[in-house]
Amino acid sequence: MRILFVGDIVGKGGRQAVAALVPVLRAELGCGFCIANAENAAGGSGITRRCLNELGTAGVDVFTSGDHVWDQREFADEIDHIPNVLRPANANPAQPGRGYGCFTAADGTRVGVLCLLGRTFMNGLSDCPFQVADRAVAELRALAPVLMVDFHAEATSEKIALARYLDGRVSAVLGTHTHVPTADECVLPGGTALQCDVGMVGSRESILGRDIEPVLKRFATGMPSRFTLADHHVRLHASVVTVYPQGRATAIERIVRDLA
């Protein structure tokens, strides 16, 4: 089977691109399952149920998240009512929602999805992703042959390390968070696909999805600047992972499409 993994959805423009392009990509590329990171879908920071409802017919089976998952306060009360949204599994266990689960692809294949948060150069408040992955993967492997991991992290070294650690136990470790796609896609010896960052669904005329001038002002002067969202010239970054029914990845391919 083929699985489409979509990078960080940024704001309204990102939602529009996902709604328009994901159904086309699924049909064109023969993808039976789709995962997308939605932690920046609401105004560029956080998630709301309303935003996810806009994407209800877009063909995304599971939404993952990251360190901005609670930026929209109401989402803490909403997440338990949305079964296909995951918060980081190694976040504080007192937080609502869940960090992994099993879902059913179009052909009936069971797909486990795990969302993890990195610690290097992050806020340092999450538990060890390696230890949490051990527990979650052991549970998921009993339920699903195909296991996909969204590792929302800053450091490429940490992302590669986790993929090497899980090689042969999961189908793919795909990175999110930096909004910049990396050119390191590969399949490791044990059959785990790796890409350090899939990228984003956001404006290509921006700095990580934000308008250019406010960000330049902050870097050039060191003074506070309100980062406004760029919703024009939206580009979708994604990756397609080809997986045997038993869960071993055989190929990974980067996808880039512009919203007309």
Query: Is the distance from CB of 151 to CB of 145 less than 8 angstroms?
Result: no
Q: Kindly state the tokens that stand for 95.
A: 């937080």
Side-chain half-sphere of 24: how many Cα atoms within 13 Å? 12
Q: Mark whether 68 is an active-site residue.
A: yes
Q: What kind and span of H or E run contains 219? A: helix 212-221
CA-based angle 174:179:184, to the nearest 5? Answer: 45
- Measured over the CA atoms of residue 59, residue 63, residue 68 and residue 70, the dihedral's sign is positive
Please give the Cα distance from 80 to 66 (Å, whole number): 16
SS3 content of the chain, % helix, strand, coil (to 5): 25, 30, 45
Q: Which of 68, 152, 177, 237 is catalytic?
A: 68
Which SS3 state, helix, strand or coil, does residue 15 take? helix
Contact 93, 132 (CB under 8 A): no
Buried b (16+ CB within 10 A) or exposed e, 22-50: beebbeeeebbbbbbbbbbbbebbbbbbe
Place of tokens 């929602």: 97
Write out the catalytic residue numbers: 68
